[in-house]
Amino acid sequence: MRYLQVIIALAFFVASSTQAAKIAIVIDDIGNHKSHLDAALLPGKVSFAVLPYTPYARSFALRAHHQKKQILLHMPMEAVDNIWSGPGEITSVMSAQQIKLQLTDALESIPYVEGMNNHMGSKLTQLPIPMHAVMETLSSRQLFFLDSRTTEFSVAEETARSLGVKSSRRHVFLDNETDDAYLTQQFTTLIKHARKHGSAIGIGHPYPETLAFLKKHLPELEERGIELVFASELTAVSSRSMSPLPVTSAK
């Protein structure tokens, strides 16, 4: 009996150790330009974060859904330097009720939304009371939250967990620079993080260089033992706390 238990445990260990690391790619800032529509043609399970009230938000969401992609609301939130983050922005001077109404309107403006991440928000994501209102809204709709981690002091994940909202965080910004050497460096960093921790989430933007790079390299992931998954597949009600790389962009 003891021998059988050892064999079963060994088999489980081997299966676990050979399980593919998982990566999610999220393309932010979708909706302002017609050229963004082509991003929906990227291969595989790519997630897209769409800005509300932008000219191509709805048409992109419809096209991406048809291509079996995942849609997030890319919700504008107040930054520490007071740069306006866009239409529908949530700010720290709003009441909880105002935040909920603002967020609800934005969610309803884009079809097929399954979750949300913050656009900018380096100030708002540090504030427990506004983030509590955000997470209550997401909880009522059973939507997940992805923290873009525009500040190391974000309380978004902690707040999400306290309300049972599935959440995760960004680990790598892919394209603060768009030359091929930098994109390759960041993509490699993302893969290394996934192999070390089991999973990783990278955020990029609909720049022509980024889209061309991903179109070329996403199909190579399977050969490298990496599984491309939707952002939602890497969220949890009580996710492990994995330290992100230093915050360098996106406010």
pLDDT in tens, 51-75: 999 999 999 999 999 999 999 999 9
pLDDT score for 8 = 42
20-234: which CATH number, 3.40.50.720, 3.40.50.2000, 3.90.1300.10, 3.20.20.370? 3.20.20.370
Show the beta-strand stretches assigned E in the chain. 21-30, 47-50, 70-77, 113-120, 144-147, 167-169, 172-173, 199-204, 226-228
CB-neighbour burial class of residue 66 (10 A; exposed 0-12, middle 13-18, buried 19+): exposed
The CB density around residue 104, as the number of other CB atoms within 10 Å, is 13
pLDDT for 190-216, tens place per residue? 999 999 999 999 999 999 999 999 999
pLDDT for 141-173, tens place per residue? 999 999 999 999 999 999 999 999 999 999 999
pLDDT for 84-108, tens place per residue? 999 999 999 999 999 999 999 999 9
Average pLDDT of the chain is: 92
Q: Would you say residue 16 has pLDDT above 50?
A: no
Higher-pLDDT residue of 154 and 245 is 154
- In this prediction the pTM is 0.90
Q: Would you say residue 140 has pLDDT above 80?
A: yes
